[in-house]
Amino acid sequence: MKTSFNKNQISLGSIYGIPLTFDFSWFLILFFLTWILAASYFPSEYKGWEKVYYWSIGAVTSILFFVSVLLHEVGHAVVAKKYNHNVKKIKLFIFGGISEITEEPKNPKEELFISAAGPAVTFLLAIIFYGLAYLSKGNIYLYALFHYLGLINLILGIFNILPGFPLDGGRILRALIWQKKKDFNKATQTAAGIGRVFGFIVIAFGFWEAMAGYFIDGIWMSFIGWFLESAAFSQIQTGKISKYFEGHIVEDAMSKSYGLVPADTTIAEFIQNDILIKHRRAFIVEEQGKNIGLLTIHDIKKVPQEKWEQTYVTDVMKPLSEIKIVDINHPLEEALKEMNRDGVNQMPVTEDGKIVGMLSRESILSFLTTLNK
């Protein structure tokens, strides 16, 4: 197993060709759970153990809990792969796990099976651990270990099939509505709406719990409710924006006029003749009738003023082979998503391999304002 580190994530090899990563927050979770189990849960359920047993059984339980969450995600990922979805990676973070599946499901049946696979694994684990607990009744330590894992997987499974939208239950609900109404966007809106209502109920329940004297539990519950509500709300917003973009391609929002700059232009000439007069932010650099690069104001800012005379646009431009280019017939919403993902403000648009325009955040915005009229 190859392990590597980057910023906040540790990569842990892969399963079925799907990379596994986990966030450093998981160390906190593992430690916290071990501590709760060793200092509070196990001592109150099973009295009179030596301290070292509370802590070692606590630690093993935490690690197996971690494995359980991982297997839940593997369940989603394996079924998604079966339907030929590209699963970028499985990520474990503070709220649990996520399988990063790049595309939306193609039909209700796919969505149903991919969403249900995770909870199915979790419920199966609950049954297995309860079974192991039953079989190890003679050994109190093993019994405590398996019994807790059975219980936690049962709770996790139930939590996951609740109808909150980012939860599996919300997706299962969307699949069922989608199957019935035959409209993905409407199904998303309805499922997210139910998810919001559900989030408010959880918040209210949390407040009631806090009032009743279980302050920490109540606050935690309200926090989960707030998380569910806002996730469902942002899903509704995204859905509204999608509706605007529906049926539109890059051609509708690109600007057909874009700046052309000959390759033998110096930065000083460029600033004087192009930027100041044409009010554009991005230009295509041309050499003997061929487009060779993209030049943005951002690139120019890197050149100190005293070097403007000696520096050519070709020195600071980004070669076309290295930048993101979009086809004129590409769905507009996809193109905007790609711009957001790669953090770029504009993309040259091509038709049959030739540049025919420029898609930028500004051009998309002005397209959207014309739609509203």
- Residues near Zn ion (CB under 5 A) are 118, 168
Q: Which is nearer to Zn ion, 117 or 326 (CB)?
A: 117
For the sheet containing 282-287, what is the strand order? Answer: 259-262, 282-287, 290-296, 318-319
- Distance in Å, CB of 229 to Zn ion, minimum: 19
Residue nearest to Zn ion (CB): 118
> What whole-number distance in Å separates Cα of residue 203 and Cα of residue 221?
7
Contacts of 357 (CB under 8 A, 6+ apart): 251, 254, 255, 256, 257, 258, 328, 348, 349
> What whole-number distance in Å separates Cα of residue 296 and Cα of residue 362?
14
- Distance in Å, CB of 160 to Zn ion, minimum: 5
State residue 44 phi and psi, 5-degree precision: -85, -30
Q: Which is nearer to Zn ion, 85 or 147 (CB)?
A: 85
- Distance in Å, CB of 115 to Zn ion, minimum: 7
- Distance in Å, CB of 70 to Zn ion, minimum: 11
Q: Quick one: tokens of 336? A: 């905007």
Q: Which is nearer to Zn ion, 72 or 280 (CB)?
A: 72
Within a 13 Å sphere around the CA of 213, how many CA atoms are in the beta-carbon half? 0
Q: Quick one: tokens of 10? A: 């540790």
> What whole-number distance in Å separates Cα of residue 337 and Cα of residue 51?
53
Of 253, 323, 250, the residue nearest 285 (C-alpha): 323
- Distance in Å, CB of 73 to Zn ion, minimum: 7
> What whole-number distance in Å separates Cα of residue 207 and Cα of residue 23?
30
Q: Which is nearer to Zn ion, 160 or 265 (CB)?
A: 160
- Distance in Å, CB of 124 to Zn ion, minimum: 13
Burial class (CB in 10 A: 0-12, 13-18, 19+), 310: exposed
- Distance in Å, CB of 324 to Zn ion, minimum: 32
> What whole-number distance in Å separates Cα of residue 53 and Cα of residue 57?
6
Q: 360 and 345 in contact (C-beta within 8 Å)?
A: yes
Q: Which is nearer to Zn ion, 123 or 258 (CB)?
A: 123
- Distance in Å, CB of 199 to Zn ion, minimum: 17
State residue 13 phi and psi, 5-degree precision: 65, -155
